[in-house]
């Protein structure tokens, strides 16, 4: 069976790598803080001493880093991914990064004769553990087909979306819709609260009709209790709205609703809510401070 490399063992990466090991794949792991490797090794993974060593030893390497800066650092640094690459090797970056960052990594990999796939995922900790992520891949189509079996261990669905950049773009689009839905949902709740409706009844009514969705069901009760413990930080949502609107700008696509939502999320940031869950945007609509 294929031996995969896996770089980056944060909350998401650890869970995803574990699913590969459990599925019977050989997996060689590396993480900047080496102690994160122990649980994987306990499950049966091999541990390498650098990103370079992972790539040199495996035909296909996955990476799951926290942000564009980390993704580029692991790729371009001494003892990094590029140093281990040679013709025929493949690199699959599961990190959420912007299009430009993804293209820089892609270009560097393909210049050295390697194959590249960007594959940001939709979903957070729980879906990562349960292997129910949604994988938004783009780049080398042959490589996508080759790693499909691995994606099937990590996610409940994967999509091949075309050339490098389209994975990042799809992720942005999904998050833009998420931000817009959260904003209008929050306005509905705030209006109901001011209008004397039982907020619990609002959630129940919304859960029974054509608008019912897991996000309203999951976030709604916490929002009523003003519990905003962070699953996806508000500042990241606002950043994604900004980037999506910027993409619309470059394509001459007006986005009035996204833009209104963006200003509301900014207002929440200005109120000091940036590190809370993005559902805390409701406080900006309620005009209620912490």
In the complex, the smallest distance separating the C-beta of residue 271 from a second copy, rounded to whole angstroms, is 7
Q: Figure out which of the listed residues 49, 157, 227, 290 binds a second copy, where binding follows CB under 8 A.
A: 157
Binding window for a second copy (CB under 8 A); candidates: 11-19, 24-32, 46-54, 154-162: 154-162
Does 78 interact with a second copy (rule: CB under 8 A)?
Answer: no
Does 102 interact with a second copy (rule: CB under 8 A)?
Answer: no
Binding window for a second copy (CB under 8 A); candidates: 23-31, 64-72, 81-89, 171-179: 171-179
Query: Which of 46/286 has CB closer to a second copy?
Result: 286
Distance CA 52, CA 48 (A): 9
Distance CA 115, CA 118 (A): 10
Query: Which of 73/174 has CB closer to a second copy?
Result: 174
Sign of the alpha-carbon dihedral angle for 190, 188, 196, 198: negative
Give me 276's structure tokens: 């809370």
Q: How far is CA 58 from CA 48, 73, 226, in A?
A: 11, 20, 47
In the complex, the smallest distance separating the C-beta of residue 131 from a second copy, rounded to whole angstroms, is 13
Q: Figure out which of the listed residues 141, 192, 222, 233 binds a second copy, where binding follows CB under 8 A.
A: 192
Q: With contact defined as beta carbons under 8 Å apart, do 61 and 143 qualify? A: no
Q: With contact defined as beta carbons under 8 Å apart, do 74 and 80 qualify? A: yes
Sign of the alpha-carbon dihedral angle for 26, 32, 34, 36: negative
Does 141 interact with a second copy (rule: CB under 8 A)?
Answer: no
- The total of other beta-carbon atoms located within 10 Å of residue 253's CB is 11
In the complex, the smallest distance separating the C-beta of residue 33 from a second copy, rounded to whole angstroms, is 30
Which burial class, exposed, middle or buried, applies to 32 when counting CB atoms under 10 A from its CB (0-12, 13-18, 19+)? middle
Does 201 interact with a second copy (rule: CB under 8 A)?
Answer: yes
Size of residue set near a second copy by CB under 8 A: 76
Does 228 interact with a second copy (rule: CB under 8 A)?
Answer: no
Query: Which of 115/219 has CB closer to a second copy?
Result: 219
Residues with a catalytic annotation lie at: 171
Query: Which of 112/286 has CB closer to a second copy?
Result: 286
- The total of other beta-carbon atoms located within 10 Å of residue 236's CB is 16
Place of tokens 């669905």: 157
Distance CA 288, CA 90 (A): 50
Q: With contact defined as beta carbons under 8 Å apart, do 50 and 38 qualify? A: no
Binding window for a second copy (CB under 8 A); candidates: 41-49, 81-89, 143-151, 194-202: 194-202
Give me 56's structure tokens: 């040199």
Binding residues among 241-280 for a second copy as defined by CB under 8 A? 242, 244, 246-249, 251-264, 266-267, 269-271, 274
In the complex, the smallest distance separating the C-beta of residue 279 from a second copy, rounded to whole angstroms, is 12
Q: Figure out which of the listed residues 86, 111, 142, 213 binds a second copy, where binding follows CB under 8 A.
A: 213
Does 224 interact with a second copy (rule: CB under 8 A)?
Answer: no
């Amino acid at each position: 069976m294929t031996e995969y490399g896996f770089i980056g063992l944060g909350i998401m990466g650890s869970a995803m790598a574990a699913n590969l090991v459990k599925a019977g794949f050989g997996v060689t792991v590396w993480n900047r803080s080496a102690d994160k490797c122990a649980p994987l090794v306990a499950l049966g993974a091999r541990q390498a001493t650098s990103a370079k060593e992972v790539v040199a030893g495996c035909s296909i390497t996955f990476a799951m880093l926290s942000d564009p800066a980390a993704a580029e650092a692991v790729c371009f640094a001494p003892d990094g991914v590029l140093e281990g690459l040679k013709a025929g090797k493949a690199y699959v970056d599961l990190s959420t990064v912007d299009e430009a960052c993804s293209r820089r990594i892609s270009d560097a990999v393909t210049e050295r004769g390697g194959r590249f796939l960007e594959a940001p995922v939709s979903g957070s900790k729980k879906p990562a553990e349960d292997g129910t992520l949604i994988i938004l891949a783009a780049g080398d189509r042959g490589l996508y087909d080759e790693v499909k079996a691995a994606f099937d261990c990590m996610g409940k669905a994967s999509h091949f979306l075309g050339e490098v950049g389209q994975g990042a773009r799809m992720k942005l689009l999904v998050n833009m819709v998420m931000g817009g839905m959260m904003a209008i949902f929050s306005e509905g709740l705030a209006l109901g609260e001011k209008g004397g409706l039982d907020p619990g009844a609002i959630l129940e009514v919304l859960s029974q009709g054509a608008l019912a969705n897991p996000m309203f069901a999951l976030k709604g009760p916490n929002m009523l209790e003003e519990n905003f413990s962070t699953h996806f930080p508000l500042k990241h949502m606002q950043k994604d709205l900004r980037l999506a609107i910027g993409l619309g700008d470059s394509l001459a696509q007006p986005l009035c609703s996204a833009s209104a939502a963006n200003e509301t999320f900014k207002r929440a940031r200005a109120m000091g809510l940036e590190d809370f869950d993005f559902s805390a945007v409701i406080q900006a609509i309620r005009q209620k401070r912490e």
